[in-house]
Amino acid sequence: MTRNSYKNSMTTDNQNTQLTDGFHLVIDALKANDLDTIFGLVGIPITDLCRLAQAEGLRFIGFRHEQHAGNAAAIAGYMTQKPGICMTVSAPGFLNGLTALANATVNCFPMILISGSSEREIVDLQQGDYEEMDQLNAAKPYCKAAYRINHIEDIGIGFARAIRAAVSGRPGGVYLDLPAQLLAQTMPADEAKKSIFKVIDPVPRQIPAADAVARALDVLKGAKRPLILLGKGAAYAQADKEIRDLIEKSGIPYLPMSMAKGLLPDNHPQSASAARSFVLAEADAVMLVGARLNWLLAHGKGKTWGKDPKKFIQIDIQANEVDSNVQIAAPLIGDIGSCVSELLKGISAVPKPSAEWIAAITDKKDKNTAKMAETLAKEANPMNFHGALRVIRDVIKKNPDVNLVNEGANTLDYCRAIVDMYKPRKRFDSGTWGIMGIGMGYAIGAAVTSGLPTVAVEGDSAFGFSGMELETVCRYNLPITTVVFNNNGVYRGTDVNPTGGADVAPTVFVKDARYDKMIEAFGGVGYYVTTPAELEAALTEAIAAGKPALINAVIDETAGTESGRLTNLNPSTAAAKK
């Protein structure tokens, strides 16, 4: 198909029947469901599909590597509750996108990875086709659902299944396999029109059972030291007002997980973030709202959770999440908006948390906040993580609409703790896997979806995973400022090769790398800063300009720790040589 033929591709056959084809119906199915943006990378067999998408008014954002296109789609899905769309070529393109699909599924973000695929007859007999791969079966273990559309008549239904699977219940990644032949198939246009439809109520409300609501309220009534824990499921649910009402009407202190920061502003008086260890250890009843008791919460047991047994209430849409690690006293299964609304009806009967509990938390918060303020106020030279993050905290406070993307080890851990968020769904980070490489993909997805300035705070190692997408940022002239915390290596830049050989140590990079020059190669603005004052000036200017920029922030290469706050997860053995 050539460029000029798109508009006229409704061809006529001998009987003058208008025909349409798979290319058009795929685009029609996306449009019918308001899926207006494709993040992808072209090649056989999807190049014409992507061209057609653009010709038909969809936005096509082309990437340099499929993993980042997939990450952009995933974060778009998280922000909108509509599946983000990623489109790739077969075998290698599909596999590059698969990491993002798996990551989306693990994080409960809705997305659809659509990949073209080669001739099934040849693939199934392993006869050596171009980019041969059994993609459907390769995808299955790593996503929520995987489908292939074999016949043009099924395109409408195929998309409906993919959309529903992605967004209903616990959201996740869906793989949709489109064989090259499908795109070329034709059918009468009038019949085709009837086969495409808008999915009705793709995210149905799931109302919790009354007895489960009563059980949850009973646990709260019996609690002396209650705590609410907000996870990214709570942010995703877009029940912001209900959640705020529940917290404020109950008076219960709350802790946001990383991506739930900003659901209520981090300076809210009931936030217990500055007393995190204290409240986790001391609370006697904990209500989880869209948060799993996985490694990020020490599996709900052990030292983190203190000596005395806790009663957990768990609000989640996924029934078998309950009891994953410890017994849940009151499971509340349904969508968060509905569950919280039901709880609100009975919340006035729940006694307010005791004055002692609130006073103990306030005392701890005040002490920890004062300690942190002291650390942040120190003018370290060379600049360290704290000096740089103090500035980022202040700039974000002045620009609360900014999307903040964050990855790295120390860069992630300190930024999460230091930089306050003021609005929901503004913080996007390494999430459930602690994955590196989401930086530019999430930043592009967030900037394209919201149209708002986006700041990516990146460890230098973390940035390297997706750094080539700076060209994408510049090509689409996106309002993204990337701040690279450059300390010359993975974690730190100080390791030495114990043999004295020419190779540097496994964690070490080129010293004083000029990441700021990379963006200049594509027409963006590069800044090189070595002090908090320079960082503040550069970041303020870059956000106001709303244009692609990269700030190379030189950080003391001795600052930080191995694996950030996860040092203890590195295996060690008594047999290791000292």
Looking at beta carbons, which residue is closest to ligand TPW? 459
R_g (Cα) of the chain, nearest Å: 25
How many CB atoms lie under 10 A from the CB of residue 509?
Answer: 17
For ligand ADP, give the closer residue by CB, 164 or 390: 164
What's the distance, CA 85 to chain centroid?
Answer: 14
DSSP 489: B
Q: Is 247 in the site for ligand ADP (CB under 6 A)?
A: no
Instruction: Supply the minimum distance, in Å, between the C-beta of residue 409 and ligand TPW.
Output: 3
Q: Is 254 in the site for ligand ADP (CB under 6 A)?
A: no
Q: Are 97 and 89 in contact (CB under 8 A)?
A: no
Closest by Cα among 414, 388, 377 to 554: 388
Q: Is 79 in the site for ligand ADP (CB under 6 A)?
A: no
Q: At a CB cut-off of 8 Å and minimum separation 6, what does 373 contact? A: none
Residues 334-373 that bind ligand ADP (CB under 6 A): 335-336
Q: Is 74 in the site for ligand ADP (CB under 6 A)?
A: no
Q: Is 270 in the site for ligand ADP (CB under 6 A)?
A: no
The binder of ligand ADP chosen from 67, 103, 250, 432 (CB under 6 A): 432
What is the DSSP secondary-structure string of 176-187?
Answer: EEEEHHHHH-EE
User: Within 13 Å and on the Cβ side, how many CA atoms surround 8?
Assistant: 5
Burial 257-278 (b: 16+ CB within 10 A, else e): bbbbbbbbebebebbbbbbbeb
Q: Is 410 in the site for ligand ADP (CB under 6 A)?
A: no
Indicate which of ligand TPW, ligand ADP, none lies near residue 24 (CB less than 5 to 8 Å, by partner kind): none
Q: Are 462 and 436 in contact (CB under 8 A)?
A: yes
151-159, 179-187, 278-286, 292-300 -> range binding ligand ADP (CB under 6 A):
292-300
Q: Is 411 in the site for ligand TPW (CB under 6 A)?
A: yes
Indicate which of ligand TPW, ligand ADP, none lies near residue 461 (CB less than 5 to 8 Å, by partner kind): ligand TPW
Site size toward ligand TPW, by CB under 6 A: 18
The binder of ligand ADP chosen from 237, 247, 263, 519 (CB under 6 A): 237
Burial of 393 (0-12, 13-18, 19+ CB in 10 A): middle
Residue with tokens 């919790």: 208
Indicate which of ligand TPW, ligand ADP, none lies near residue 291 (CB less than 5 to 8 Å, by partner kind): ligand ADP
Instruction: Supply the minimum distance, in Å, between the C-beta of residue 225 and ligand ADP.
Output: 21
Q: Is 318 in the site for ligand ADP (CB under 6 A)?
A: yes
121-129, 193-201, 373-381, 455-463 -> range binding ligand TPW (CB under 6 A):
455-463
Bridge partners of 148, per DSSP, are 177
Closest by Cα among 105, 182, 193, 109 to 144: 105
Q: CA-to-CA distance for 33 and 199, rounded, in angstroms?
A: 7
Q: Are 67 and 441 in contact (CB under 8 A)?
A: yes
For ligand ADP, give the closer residue by CB, 22 or 233: 233
Residues 458-497 that bind ligand TPW (CB under 6 A): 459-462, 485, 487, 490-491
Q: Is 236 in the site for ligand ADP (CB under 6 A)?
A: yes
For ligand TPW, give the closer residue by CB, 251 or 434: 434
Instruction: Supply the minimum distance, in Å, between the C-beta of residue 222 and ligand TPW.
Output: 41
41-49, 104-112, 306-314, 404-412 -> range binding ligand TPW (CB under 6 A):
404-412
Q: Is 321 in the site for ligand ADP (CB under 6 A)?
A: yes
In this structure, what are the phi and psi dihedrals at residue 243, rounded to the nearest 5 degrees?
-65, -45
Q: Are 120 and 133 in contact (CB under 8 A)?
A: no
Indicate which of ligand ADP, ligand TPW, none lies near residue 231 (CB less than 5 to 8 Å, by partner kind): ligand ADP
Indicate which of ligand ADP, ligand TPW, none lies near residue 114 (CB less than 5 to 8 Å, by partner kind): none
Tally the residues of the chain. 578
Amino acid letter for position 251: G
Query: Which element (helix H / strand E) includes 517?
Result: helix 515-520
> What Cα–Cα distance (Å) separates residue 142 from each residue in 104, 113, 145, 146?
10, 12, 9, 9
Q: Is 407 in the site for ligand ADP (CB under 6 A)?
A: no
Per CB under 6 A, residues contacting ligand TPW are 408-411, 434-437, 459-462, 485, 487, 490-491, 560, 564
Q: Which residues bind ligand ADP (CB under 6 A)?
A: 107-108, 170-171, 231-233, 236-237, 257, 259-260, 290-292, 294, 296, 316-318, 321, 335-336, 432
